[in-house]
Structure 1
Amino acid sequence: MAFTRRKTLTQWLPLIALAAACGAGGVQAQDPYPSKPIRVIVPYPAGGGTDTIARLIGVQLSQRWGQPVVVENKPGASGMLGNDIVAKAPGDGYTVLMGITAVVQIPALYKKVPYKLGDLAPVSQIAKSADLLMVPRSTGVTTLQQFVDKAKAAPGTLNYGSYGNATSSHMNGERFKQKAGIDIAHIPYQGSGPEVAALLGGQLTLAFVDATAAYPHIKSDKVNILAVTGSQRHPALPQVPTMTESGYPGLEANGWFGMFVPAATPKAIVDKLGAEVAAIVKSPELHKRLTDMGLIAVGSQPDEFKPVVEKDAAHWKAVAEAAKISMD
């Protein structure tokens, strides 16, 4: 009797194992990623560069994958609100962050951040930006060294503008002051638009202007462009040297736009999303759109973007600490 029961169980074991395998495979087959709409969280208001890029990529991603991609603007707390939504979302690939450099700067600027940088997994660096160092042509200054010499000759009389307190332009400006050993006043503006207007109006003697905002003015006869931050010359301005080439290293970090997902997202999903986004960015259509915005298209894979995030986080932390820049 016992032998019969053992024999019966032995006969059933292969069938049980097969059923389990088919069941597990069936779930995967019925629910491949993506199988439902994807949310792209933009932590800034509609109409800005981050929002524009998110919508351009969203349209292409929807067409390629046959799933709706919904862009949701969640502005607030300097971007922390939208970042936090993604950081705390389920790790299933259906909630994506379209972030900017502020993602890695915020932890260095605020004491109370509701999430950790490690709560977000890098997916793809979409594009790089840079700050252009611009002066009114009326100053007669044509090189960065000329500006430094002028500032040293009259300490405290010159100024520089940024597109906001604790922004990349502010931190780059303070870094430049330290490297050059000059005393110039910082004048923050509420965005690049007012900053550029002040520069063109002669209220500023120097301005760190985001390349996207400066792009319409790079051929203006009212300004001279002395240098560019970042690790390479800007493609639209091959004649303009970098800060490092001008003799002032330490401003090699580029601004950027990048996609992130919750850190708990399986690597297979992160890699699949990253590969698709990278392909979209490198397509002729989107590459041209980004270039026309004054950006340098990248389209990196997750494993390529991750070290950039880590390196830039350390860089901006060091800059903020050295310049004592804080938003608390």
Structure 2
Amino acid sequence: MGQSDIGRRTFMAALSSISLGGSLDAWGQDDRTYPGQVIRMIVPYPAGGATDILGRMMAAKLQTAWGQTVIVENKPGASGTIGNDYVAKSAPDGYTVLMAITAIVQVPALMPKLPYDVLKDLQPIAQVASTNSILVVPLSTPADTLAEFIAMVKAAPKKYNYGSYGIGTSSHIQGTLLNKQAGIDLVHVPYKGAAPLLQDLRGSQLTSAFIDMATVRPHLDAFKPLAVTGTQRNKLVPNVPTFAELGFKSFEPVGWFGLFMPAGVPSAIAKKFADESNRILHMPDVVEKIDGLGMNPGGISTEKFARIVHDDLAIYTRIIKDGNIRIE
């Protein structure tokens, strides 16, 4: 049996224990006494970003609901892997939680020698929010549709490019996938953050870019949107088709933010945390805040989120390997 098969079995076993809502009391407590001490929420990115904002929002709501302190600790570095590894190696008692993003299922293919296994050492609990990515071009671009843009690029090899937030990021992966499927040669231009990318795109120094909807939302009137990732159109740009509608494959995943715990947390505790998180994510003020960030609120079942994590990891692994993408 291969390592991936073992990982899948471990992952599905953990998922099964959550869904059954068992009463394992391996740590001297069950859902009736949990939480009985401080909960630590680990954000593997710097303070102030979207991950941090969502983590602190959830921590505050959980603290109010349970009357128990929930503190947020930022442990940035190495594309989130420092914080991810910290939680993966924490005691599986329900008191250490990870606020992760889609990168958690992209990095394993980019950095094969990780000190943890996403499917074996961590278990998904709740999806907090999600957001499409959108391919945009400057207003001065003569192309108005994706088909016209592809034809324009094919007519002038090596002339056009696409920007990303850096090597190995979602925007890089999506650009690589578009190049491969459309048979074009957009040159990759990595940036350090969204601000310089948006500036160059607005000034037409950059030909195109895949940008998450939360980032591009305030700037939509400055660009032409050509297509969005995901299985459904985005409500902010309802006339813009999905890549799937246009015949492209593997653009179904969207960016997401989700809560994880170490594998092996007693199922009753994991379920209690998931249920409370999902209750919070349906509160009107929380929905309004997430909408205001340009994202879609989560609140889906743990089982559905776990399937997304598993399926997205497989999709990104294939794209990254086919595109020979590596973090230097």
- In structure 1, the residue matched to 2:223 is 223
Q: Could you tell me whether the CA contact under 8 Å between 1:270 and 1:302 is conserved in 2?
A: no
- Bigger radius of gyration: 1
- In structure 1, the residue matched to 2:81 is 80
- In structure 1, C-alpha distance between the alignment counterparts of 2:246 and 2:72, rounded to whole Å: 41
- In structure 2, C-alpha distance between the alignment counterparts of 1:85 and 1:30, rounded to whole Å: 24
1:148 aligns with 2:150: yes
- Structure 2 counterpart SS, 1:231: coil
1:277 aligns with 2:291: no
Q: What are the within-5 Å matches in structure 2 for residues 148-227 of structure 1? A: 148-218=150-220, 220=221, 222-227=222-227
- In structure 1, the residue matched to 2:5 is none
Structure 2 counterpart of 1:252, which letter? Answer: E
Cα distance change on mapping 1:164 and 1:33 into 2, 3 Å: same
Shift of 1:327: 1.5
Sequence identity percentage: 45
- In structure 2, the residue matched to 1:105 is 106
- In structure 2, C-alpha distance between the alignment counterparts of 1:48 and 1:254, rounded to whole Å: 18
Q: Which sections of structure 2, spanning at least 5 residues, go unmatched?
A: 1-24
Shift of 1:244: 1.1
**CA distances 1:98-123 after superposition (whole Å, capped 9, x unpaired):** 00001111111102211111200100
Q: Could you tell me whether the CA contact under 8 Å between 1:151 and 1:158 is conserved in 2?
A: yes
RMSD of Structure 2 on Structure 1 (CA): 1.5
- In structure 1, the residue matched to 2:16 is none
Shift of 1:30: 11
Cα distance change on mapping 1:29 and 1:121 into 2, 3 Å: closer
- In structure 1, the residue matched to 2:318 is 318
**CA distances 1:140-178 after superposition (whole Å, capped 9, x unpaired):** 221111100101111111111111110011000000111
Shift of 1:271: 0.9
Q: What are the within-5 Å matches in structure 2 for residues 1-328 of structure 1? A: 28=29, 32-117=33-118, 118-218=120-220, 220=221, 222-328=222-328
Q: Which sections of structure 1, spanning at least 5 residues, go unmatched?
A: 1-23
Q: Could you tell me whether the CA contact under 8 Å between 1:136 and 1:200 is conserved in 2?
A: yes
- In structure 1, C-alpha distance between the alignment counterparts of 2:284 and 2:32, rounded to whole Å: 32
Q: Could you tell me whether the CA contact under 8 Å between 2:105 and 2:309 is conserved in 1?
A: yes
Cα distance change on mapping 1:37 and 1:167 into 2, 3 Å: same
Q: Could you tell me whether the CA contact under 8 Å between 1:160 and 1:204 is conserved in 2?
A: yes
Shift of 1:285: 0.7
- In structure 2, C-alpha distance between the alignment counterparts of 1:251 and 1:207, rounded to whole Å: 15
- Structure 1 counterpart SS, 2:273: helix
Shift of 1:77: 1.1
**CA distances 1:187-221 after superposition (whole Å, capped 9, x unpaired):** 01111222111111111111111111101012x1x
Aligned residues: 301
- In structure 1, C-alpha distance between the alignment counterparts of 2:278 and 2:101, rounded to whole Å: 16
Q: Could you tell me whether the CA contact under 8 Å between 2:30 and 2:268 is conserved in 1?
A: no
- Give the TM-score of the pair, scaled to structure 1: 0.89
- In structure 1, the residue matched to 2:15 is none
**CA distances 1:5-45 after superposition (whole Å, capped 9, x unpaired):** xxxxxxxxxxxxxxxxxxx9xx7589700011110000000
**CA distances 1:25-69 after superposition (whole Å, capped 9, x unpaired):** xx7589700011110000000000000000011111100011011
Shift of 1:246: 2.2
- Structure 2 counterpart SS, 1:260: strand
**CA distances 1:277-315 after superposition (whole Å, capped 9, x unpaired):** 111111111111111111111212222211111100100
- Give the TM-score of the pair, scaled to structure 2: 0.89
Cα distance change on mapping 1:29 and 1:258 into 2, 3 Å: closer
- Structure 1 counterpart SS, 2:140: helix
Q: Could you tell me whether the CA contact under 8 Å between 1:192 and 1:210 is conserved in 2?
A: no
- In structure 2, C-alpha distance between the alignment counterparts of 1:129 and 1:30, rounded to whole Å: 32
- Structure 2 counterpart SS, 1:33: coil
- In structure 2, C-alpha distance between the alignment counterparts of 1:61 and 1:29, rounded to whole Å: 18
Q: Could you tell me whether the CA contact under 8 Å between 1:193 and 1:213 is conserved in 2?
A: no
Cα distance change on mapping 1:288 and 1:208 into 2, 3 Å: same
- Structure 1 counterpart SS, 2:61: helix
**CA distances 1:73-95 after superposition (whole Å, capped 9, x unpaired):** 00011100000110000001000
- In structure 1, C-alpha distance between the alignment counterparts of 2:130 and 2:96, rounded to whole Å: 23
Shift of 1:133: 0.6
